[in-house]
Structure 1
Amino acid sequence: MMNYCASSLLLGLLFIPVTCDFPPGSCDGYTNITEPWRNRDFTSTSFTGFPKDDKNLVNHWWRFTGIGGDRVVSSCISNNHGGTHYSIYIPFSYPSTESVTPTTGTAYAYVSYCADRGFSVSVALCPGGFYVYKPLDHPYTPLGYLTCE
């Protein structure tokens, strides 16, 4: 019995030191987004709530999952795709390693032309190989993030 307690205590001590290799609140505090309308190939403009807008995503960490896709598109897509009027895309390179410092770059929205509206977004690579996103601005309405698999 004593050996068991000593082993449990020793094992418990091995798990106490905790470090993280990702930005605070990102990989352990994100919210899942699962809407299928985000898929870049979705083109209907006749559903309830069209056009969708992502202004409520600013300054929070988000993970895109589900049938809509799990990654924000990296190239310009014209208007009225993905359930929004103006599509957002992220053309910069995603991080390839976990880091306490997220990769921050310029995302763009197609309003009148590609790269019409630029704004900052942070991206972090989480344990398990998925990405989370934190928009830092939302310069125009209605803008929405388009996703793909």
Structure 2
Amino acid sequence: MTDERYSISEVARGFGLPVSTLRYYDDLGVLPAAGRRGNVRQYGRAELRRLALVQRLHHRGMVGLADTAALVADGPAADAPPARAVLAASIETIKNRVADLRHAQELLEHLLTCPTADPVRECTYLRAELDEAVEQALAALRR
């Protein structure tokens, strides 16, 4: 099997990314190019696989970019947390986001069925939530 090389524009098009994102990843060390042909970055299958991993971890919102960089690095950095710690923290973040999204869905479903004429402005359930949010913000200011 030959290690065919693909230009940065081909890879960007194939993965649905702007070329600037690939350059940024290269600058951060997240996805170094396999080499260059003239001034054009070239990528082989190993780099494409790594990009697919970055997309799954970062683009799908599972792991932040700094943690993604640490996870896909060729070797562990001295100050980087262990991979399993990064993964565990990411799972907690996702659980919190899922809970937030469920709450948002419940609120929107309530507003959709709220019997008031203008649920966004007149719903007592929403008004109570907004009052609670205001009280929390004011309490934070008082600290």
Structure with larger Rg: 2
Greater relative CO, 1 or 2 (CA 8 Å, sep 6+): 1
Instruction: Name whichever structure is richer in helix by fraction.
Output: 2
Instruction: Name whichever structure is richer in strand by fraction.
Output: 1
TM-score, normalization by structure 2: 0.22
